[in-house]
Amino acid sequence: MSMSKRTQSFQDLAKGSVSQPEARYSGTGHTTPQDAAPMSEERNKLLASLMSQYLSREPEAIQRQIVNHVEYTLARTRYNFDAQGAYQATAFSVRDRLLESWNDTQQYFTERDVKRVYYLSLEFLMGRYLQNALANTGIKSNYEEALLGLGYKLEDVLEVERDPGLGNGGLGRLAACFMDSLATGNYPGWGYGIRYKYGMFFQKISDEGYQIEVPDYWLTHGNPWEVERLDVTYPVRFFGHVEWTDKGIRWTGGEVVRAVAYDSPIPGYDTYNTLNLRLWSAAPAHEFDLDSFSRGDFYGAIANKEASEKISSVLYPNDSTDAGKELRLKQQYFFVAATLQDAIRRFLKRGRPLTDLHTKVAIQLNDTHPTIAIVELMRIMMDEFGIGWTNSWKTTQKVFSYTNHTVLPEALEKWSVPLMEKLLPRHMQIIYEINRRFLETIAAKYPGDGKKLQRMSIVEDGYPKMVRMANLAVVGSHCVNGVAAIHSGLVQTNLFPDFVQEGYRFVNMTNGVTPRRWIQQANPSLSAIISRWVESDDWVVNLELARSLEQYVDNADLQREFSESKMENKKRLAKLIKETFNEDIDCNALFDIQIKRIHEYKRQLLNILGVIARYNKLKSMSASELSKVVPRVHVFGGKAAAAYVQAKNIIRLITGVSSVVNKDPQTSKYLKVFFMPNYNVTLAEALIPANDVSEHISTAGMEASGTSNMKFVMNGGLIIGTMDGANIEIREEVGDDQIFIFGLLTPEIESARDACKYGQYKVVDSRLEEAISQIKSGKFCGQDTAGPIVRALEPYNDYYLVARDFTSYLEAQDRVDAAFTDKTEWTKRCIRAVAR
C-alpha cells in the first residue's frame, strides 16, 4: 500500500497500482450542481496539482504532521505536549490520511454511478479507532517510530482514547464489524445512526455491589475522528397535523429540529477503500429566542435548544414512562428521516425519477428500530413528489431489506397508536393504509379466516392498539434475514409462518465478526503465530486460510508458542484485574469468562449459581482433595438496562458472591470471581484473548445468534454452551471436542416450561437447593435482591429454565475441569478451535 500519488481509478487503488489523474476533483461534494462554482481549466489544473500527492508515510514526515496538529489544531506548545495532546494530534494526522482515501473513494463511486448500500442502525459499537486505523492502513510501525522519536510509546498513546458511546451490545458490534467488512471488501456502503452525546451510560458498581448508571462523557475531549458537516443538515418534523389541499396532502405545524451530520471515515484493510459512518446530531431549528430573553425568560430563550438536543443525548433512554417512550420513537424517526433525505438528495443529482431509487439504493434495516423508514419513504414519494401509491409501494419494497435479531415475540418492537398519531400523524395514516391494502389481499385468499388476519395485521387490536414494527418491516421489505441457522428457522416457523406461507422472502445470513480487530488487533501474539505457521497474512481477509494451521496441531513448537501466547494474554488480564480490584490471581488457573448484555435469557444467573455450587464443594473438601482441584477464575461483564430490575438484581448477586468468595482464605486459592464494570469493546479486547473457556448458555431457542462466541473461539478458547444461536454452527465447524454442550434442546423447551408451570416436574439437586438457601439467608445479598432471584427459580416462575438445566450445566463444567487437566490435549483442542 505504499504510494504517494493519488489516483482516479479505485480498481488501481485496491491493487496498490497508481495512475496520475489529470484533474483529481470535478465536483464539490454536497453542493448541488446548480450552486457549484464554475471550474475553469486553470483552476482544475491547480487543484489537481495541489491534491495529487498523498501525505508522506515516512516517520519524519509523520512527526512533522503530528507536531503541526499540536500547534495549529490543538493550539498547544512544546511545553504542554502531554499524552492527551499526543493522542489527539496523532489521531488528527491519521484522519488526514483517511480523508484522502475517503475523498477518492467517494469520487470513484460517484463517477461510476454505483449502487450503494446504506446500513441503518441505532447502534454502532465501534471501539477505539486509532489502533484499528493504523492496522488497516498498514502504517502502525511508521507511527510507532515517529511517536518514539517524540518521546511516546504508541501503546501509551492508544490507552488515552475513550470508546465512543455509540452502542451497547451485539447489535452495535455487529454493525461495526459489518462496516469494517464492507470497507475491506471494496463495497460502496455507508452506515447511518445517531451521535449520542452521553452514550448509553457509564456503568459503575457501588460499594454495596449495585449497578449505578452515570452519563458517559465520551466526548469530553472531543472526537478527532469525526468531521462536523454544518453544510449537511436536514429538517425533521414531529407532531403537527395533516392538511388536504388542492396540491395534495401536507404534514405541517408541530415541532421542527435540525439533523446535523457528523462523518467518520471507516478504512478497509489493505485497500484504499474508505467508507463513511454518518451520524446525526439533533439541533434546534431556531437556536435562541431573543424575545424570551429580552423579557427575562432566560430558560425559555434556550428551551428549544434543550428540547432538541435531548433527542441525540442518550442511547436507549429509559422507556418505563410515557416521556421515555416518546423520546425513543423520536430518536428512531429523527435518524431515518435525515438519512432518507440524504440518500434521496444524492440519488437525485443524476436527474433520475425517484421511482428508480431501488436501482441505485439498497437500505438494510438493522433490527426494527429503523423500520419507520419504510413509511417515511412512502410519505416523501407521495406527499413531496406526487407519486401514486402503487409506484411508491413498489419502489419502497425494492429498496428495503430487514434483519431480524430476536425470536422472542415479546421483544418485537411495538408502538402505541395514540403515540404514533400524536408524534407522527401522517405516518400513522400511511400505516393504516398499508395495513388495509395488505389485509385485503390476505382476506381475499382466506375468506372468513379472522385469526390469520389478526396474526398478520400491522396494527394489533387492544387497548391501546399497537403498531407491530416487525410486521411492518416484513411487509415493506423484499427480503428478511435471520442471523443464525436455528434462528432463521424459528423466525419462519414461530414468528412469521403466515408471511412465509404468502411467499415473503426469508433467508439465513449468519452473523460474523472481523478477524482484523478480534485477532490481529486484540491478540497480536496469536496473529503472529497464525501468519508464521500458515506462511501468509492473507488469512486476515480470508479466515479459511487459517485452517492449514490444523495440520501442525501435533507439533510441539506450535503448542509451545500457542501456550506462551495464551499465558501472555492471561497475564495482561491479571494486570487489569489487579488494577481494578487490587486482587492477585493465578494465571495457571482456568479462566472462565461470560461477557454480554445482562438478560435473564442469557442466563448469567445459571453461571453464578454454578459458581456458588463450586464454592460450596470446595468448602467441603479436605486438603488432599483441594490439591487436585482445577483452580478457576470466573469473570463476568455486561450492562443491565436501566429499567431492567431483575438484570440489575443478577449483577448484585454476582458482586455479592464475588465479595464472599474472594475473601475466603479457605477457597480463594482455588476460586475467584470478578464482575468487570463498564463492559465495552476495549475491555472485550483484553478479556477475549485470555479466555480458556467462555460461556454462551442462553435458554435454547432464545438467542438469535451471538457474536462473542465466535470471537472467543477464534482466540483459542473452548465453549460451554447450549444448542442455541451460532453455537450450533460453531459446533459443526470446530467439532464436539471443542465445545461442551449441555441443556435442553429447542424442541423440548415448551413442554419443559409446561411441566414446571403445572407442577409435573420438580428439579431435585441438593447443590441447587443449598445455593438457593444461601441466597435466601442473605449470605450474598440483601432481601431486596434475594427475593426476586429466588422467586424466579421456583418451578412455576422458571421461564428461562435455569433450575431445569442446572444439573446438566454442572456436568458440563465437570467435563471442562477434566479436559483442562491434560494441558497438551487442551492446547491441541484450542489450536483446532482457531484453525476451524
**Catalytic positions, written as ranges:** 405, 596-597, 602, 707, 711
303 φψ region: left (φ > 0), alpha (ψ -120 to 50), beta (else): alpha
CA 515/CA 531 separation, integer angstroms: 13
Contact indicator for 151, 360 with CB cutoff of 8 Å: no
Q: Which of 506, 570, 611, 597 is nearest to 716 (CA)?
A: 570
What is each CA distance from 809 to 488, 716, 754, 801, in whole angstroms?
Answer: 26, 22, 21, 12
Q: Please, are residues 729 and 510 in contact by the beta-carbon 8 Å criterion?
A: yes
Question: How far is 98 from 553, CA to CA, in rounded Å?
Answer: 40
Closest CA to 501 of 456, 435, 440, 458: 456
In Å, what is the CA distance from 492 to each residue of 1, 170, 495, 502?
45, 22, 6, 12
Cα 80 from Cα 92, distance rounded (Å): 17
C-alpha cell at 390: 402503487
Tell which residue, 470, 433, 439, 472, has the closest CA to residue 454: 439
**Residue for grid cell 463517477:** 111
Cell digits for 700?
435454547
- Report whether 364 contacts 119 (CB < 8 A): yes
Contact 86, 152 (CB under 8 A): yes
Spatial separation of the C-alpha atoms in residues 493 and 273, rounded to whole Å: 40
Residue 763: HSE in the Cβ half-sphere, 13 Å Cα cutoff: 25
Q: How far apart (Å, rounded) are the C-alpha atoms in residues 176 and 171?
A: 9
Q: Rounded to whole angstroms, what are the CA distances from 656 to 472, 512, 651, 674, 720?
A: 44, 35, 8, 10, 24
CA dist list (Å): 292 to 254, 285, 288, 343, 375: 19, 16, 9, 37, 37
Following CA atoms 419, 421, 425, 431 in sequence, which dihedral angle do they give, to the nearest 10 degrees?
100
Q: Which residues make beta-bridge pairs with 756?
A: none
CA dist 624 and 616 (Å) reads 16
Helix or strand run (H / E) with residue 814: helix 802-820
- How far is 835 from 758, CA to CA, in rounded Å? 47
> Where do we find the cell 493504523?
134
Helical (H) or strand (E) element with 414: strand 414-416
